[in-house]
Structure 1
Amino acid sequence: MKVDVTHPDRLVFPDVGVTKGDVVDYYRRVARWMLPLIKDRPLTVQRFPRGVGARATHGSGKGFVQQDFSRSGAPGWLRTVKVPRLSGGSVEHAVADRPEALAWLANQGAITLHMWTARWTDLTHPDLVVFDLDPAEDGFAVVRDTALAARDLLSTIGLRPYVQVTGSRGVHVVAPIKTGPTFDEVRDFARGIGERLAHDDATHRTVAVRKADRRGRLYIDVMRNGYAQTAVAPYSVRARPNASVATPITWEELGDDRVRPDGFTLLTILDRLADHGDPWSGMRRHAASFGAASKRFAGL
């Protein structure tokens, strides 16, 4: 199947000369690494039909979020899935299961993809635990230290943590789990982990949801573990002037002072993948028992 690109020469990231055609081509090419990580997961997308930033072509550069694809004019081969709302009704999310799906979304102006922590085949049971480490300021040292502390704690209780720079300011620490627990159980567990990390360094870390209560500290966000919540998809482009990319990295790389949360871009990431592969490849093989991890954590 063929995806025709409309307005391929439109500047999407004018600061770095990236066009809409470049974005579509990127998603086609990164699909071999990206699709295994987002397989079967409902998506929410951020669309920027006229480009990103104040210098974007033919517009203000402001985007919007799209969840529902029921009236999108999507091709018949694009998988969509009806997801129940907690408040009633449903939302028809897109699911990317082939390179053409990523290309079609990009041609619609979708720059950033956010994914569920559950799959459409079992919408009420997540198979990932996500910790979003969001700094109050641009300093990355506290993000790095907190991510390493999260790694050590999660490893101690039998989980296999992975790390991703978000392409924005922070880091996601992600642990695969075997399907079984509910969203509420996973969120409560993640909250407990977050509270432990915050307690261990209350000067620099907090789980306070209200910004006014954070007082300049890094926010350990565990709310992405709730039903219908999302996290930025690995290898997703971010709507930032340099076309940065959410990038899985190794723990050794995280310790390198040269690594920045927005340092990998659409213009560089494919060479990195070709040379070094995907650090998250085979993640599902390391999915651990949530129940066993919960019991170990309770015993600490």
Structure 2
Amino acid sequence: MDKIYWPKEKITKGDLLLYYEKVAKWILPHLKDRPESMRRFPDGITGASFFQKNLLQHPDWVETAPINQVNYLMIQNEESLLFAANLGCIELHPFLSRVGKLKYPDYVIFDLDPKSASFEKVIEVAKTIHDVLDEIKVPSYCKTSGATGLHIAVPLGAKYTYDTAKRFAELIAKIVQKKIPQISTLERSLSKRKGKVYIDYHQNNMGQTIAAAYSVRARPKAPVSTPLKWEEVKKGLDPTAFTMKTIFQRLKKFGDLFAPVLKKGANLELALKN
């Protein structure tokens, strides 16, 4: 437990487990019943990491989901959350859908990836997506990715297939890109983005995963993927301010701002009529 996971900050593996134990009641609703793609950092953020989907050996009390001959971990409770953290899973990457309704995602995700673009541009793209969705009366919720971008989620209530969800996300992404072509792009190729923010809607596929709300990220300062109020998404927002050490002040003040993502979903048919 004394193994150093963040050398500069002197944060240990034990500190990571204590974080997940403390944040369990907020993060578990975003993990429960979802197959997990494990990203393991057995030697901390400066060591080698690897993704692991197939969990072959585990205690009897750890639940798994067999999908296409792959045995996915499911984080169902505090014990299995700490089991994952003990394996070096600094980051938690669940499916968008749950076992029982695997073909029906609970939400649509827009992953705003800046690469060489400024974070101010990310903010402008996020606000434009929010405005477009607002116009058609579709609720949306924003969180930091925990890295350099933002994630925007639209609750679906597991009513639509991945194909429908992705087509909706693609439509919104194209509308937004046409509104602000000077700062946004749909180009997947890094060389063609030219300092623009990539609106990635391709995460809305069966089996794709994204960092969960309240997941720690394997980056300097131990940042956490943190839900935001839309009024916070403005110039001056510092995504590096949300860390393992600071997140609990927000949770005490605001609770889980991402909870609505798991509740009643948007009516896409009605939205598209608008």
TM-score strictly above 0.5: yes
User: Which of 238, 246, 261 is the equivalent residue of 2:239?
Assistant: 261
The alpha carbon displacement at 1:138 in A equals: 5.3
Q: One-letter code of the match for 2:87? A: Q
Q: Percent identity?
A: 36
CA distance in 1, matches of 2:67, 2:226: 28
Runs of 4 or more off by more than 4 Å in structure 1? none
CA distance in 2, matches of 1:40, 1:154: 28
CA distance in 2, matches of 1:181, 1:286: 13
Contact 1:165 1:260 in 2 (8 A): no
Q: One-letter code of the match for 2:226? A: T
CA distance in 2, matches of 1:47, 1:172: 22
Contact 1:160 1:286 in 2 (8 A): no
CA distance in 1, matches of 2:108, 2:183: 22
Structure 1 residues 251 and 77: alpha-carbon distance in aligned structure 2, compared to 1, 3 A threshold: same
Q: Equivalent residues in 2 for 1:38-77 (5 A)?
A: 38-53=31-46, 61-69=47-55, 71=56, 73-77=57-61
Q: One-letter code of the match for 2:66? A: K
For 1:195, the equivalent position in structure 2 comes to 174
User: Which of 17, 28, 33 is the equivalent residue of 2:21?
Assistant: 28
Contact 1:166 1:262 in 2 (8 A): no
CA distance in 2, matches of 1:115, 1:294: 28
Contact 1:165 1:248 in 2 (8 A): yes
Contact 1:178 1:289 in 2 (8 A): no
Q: Equivalent residues in 2 for 1:147-226 (5 A)?
A: 147-226=126-205
Unaligned runs of 5+ in 2: none
Paired residues, number: 274
CA distance in 1, matches of 2:120, 2:224: 20
Q: When the two structures are superposed, what TM-score results if normalisation uses the length of structure 1?
A: 0.87
The alpha carbon displacement at 1:50 in A equals: 0.9
Q: When the two structures are superposed, what TM-score results if normalisation uses the length of structure 2?
A: 0.95
For 2:111, the equivalent position in structure 1 comes to 132
Unaligned runs of 5+ in 1: 1-7, 54-60, 85-89
- Kindly report the root-mean-square deviation, in angstroms, between the aligned alpha carbons of the 2 structures: 1.4
CA distance in 2, matches of 1:173, 1:283: 10
Secondary structure at 2:210's aligned position in 1? strand
